Structures are given as C-alpha cells and as structure tokens.
A = this chain, B = another copy of it.
Amino acid sequence: MVDSTTKKEDGMSKGLLIVFTGNGKGKTTAALGMAMRAAGHGLRVCFIQFIKGSWRYGELEAVKRFAGLIDLHVMGKGFTWKSENIEDDARLAREAWDFARQAINSNSYQIVVLDEFTYLLHYGMLALDPCLQFLTERNPAQHVVITGRYAPPSLLEAADLVTEMQAVKHPLASGIKAQKGIEF
C-alpha cells in the first residue's frame, strides 16, 4: 500500500475500473467493505444493486450509518431474472443502466458500484459493446466497481483491477443453511 494520491504520467488522477467476479463468496461483500472504507475517508459512493432482494436487513442497516455518504439504489422493481417476460426484463435492464450512467456522469460520487451488474451482460439483457464503450470513455477520474459472476472477458480486459473469488469450499454444499449475519 502506497500512501499517495495516484497520478498518471500526465499528472491526472486515475479512476479505476474494478471487477470482483467468480463463483465464490465475498464479491458484493468486498464492494460493500470498499464503499464503507471510502465513506470513512469522506468520499461519496453510489451503490447500485441490479438484482432485487440480494441485500437483506443487515446490509441495509449498515449502510444507513453512512447516510449522506453512501447512496443505495435498488434497480428493477421485481427484476429477479425469473420474469416470464424477456421483453420486460430487457426494458428494466436498460432503465437500470440509464440510471447507472447518470450516476457515473454526475460527478457527484468518487465511486459508483454496479453490484451484480455482470448478469445483465451475461444474459444479454444489455448489449456489451456500448456498455464497454461508455465505461472506457467515462470521466477518467471516476472509480467504478462492478461485481457478479460470469464477467465477460472483454470487461476484464477493460478493467484495471480484477479479482476472481473462487469457491474452494462452501457450507451450503455440505448441507449447512445460510445464516443471518454471516451470509446475508
């Protein structure tokens, strides 16, 4: 860890595109920890959830303690990937992405988190190329964090920092149920 402001060769600060992917635990949780740490520095974070219901009481109560620093937005209104209407899902995905682009373009946040955003790309709810173009042409000082399984290779290519969370062992596989405060 180097305690200095990041500068590119041209002296501009560099916003990172960070991806947490893979089939293991901790992707959203790491983004949440990162958001709270940034808020601890007084930075403003926009945390956009693309999957409804992935957060529970614990996360919501935790984020409330950072009112004015972390803005949480849940997209989709029922956008659970179980819709029987693909057209409807695609429309909701576009609306959610429009919202995310506005947040990224607003210059109101040092960090914008697109939580579980990869599913929209993986399942073809959004066209990949325009998304990548928008991300790579964003304000170069803007940090963006994307989480979710199945991150497309071209997204990883565009990213500055990629961590793959690999499930080495998972208790649900051995019949232990998910627990309050631990897994949600």
Chain A residues at the B interface, C-beta cutoff of 8 Å: 1-8, 13-14, 16, 18, 20, 22, 24-34, 36-43, 54, 56-66, 110-111, 143, 156, 159-172, 174, 176-184
Are B111 and A181 in contact, CB atoms less than 8 angstroms apart?
yes
CA–CA, A14 and B4, complex, Å: 43
Are A41 and B61 in contact, CB atoms less than 8 angstroms apart?
yes
Residue of B nearest to A14 (CB): B176
B residues in contact with A8, CB < 8 Å: 176
Are A181 and B26 in contact, CB atoms less than 8 angstroms apart?
no
How distant is A167 from chain B, measured CB to nearest CB, in Å? 6
CA–CA, A20 and B182, complex, Å: 13
Residue of B nearest to A65 (CB): B65
Residue of B nearest to A34 (CB): B29
CA–CA, A110 and B182, complex, Å: 10
B residues in contact with A25, CB < 8 Å: 18, 30, 161, 163
Interface centre among A4, A24, A39, A159 (most CB of B within 10 A): A24
The residue that A37 contacts in the complex, of B3, B32, B38, B169, with Cβ under 8 A, is B32
CA–CA, A172 and B16, complex, Å: 11
How distant is A41 from chain B, measured CB to nearest CB, in Å? 4
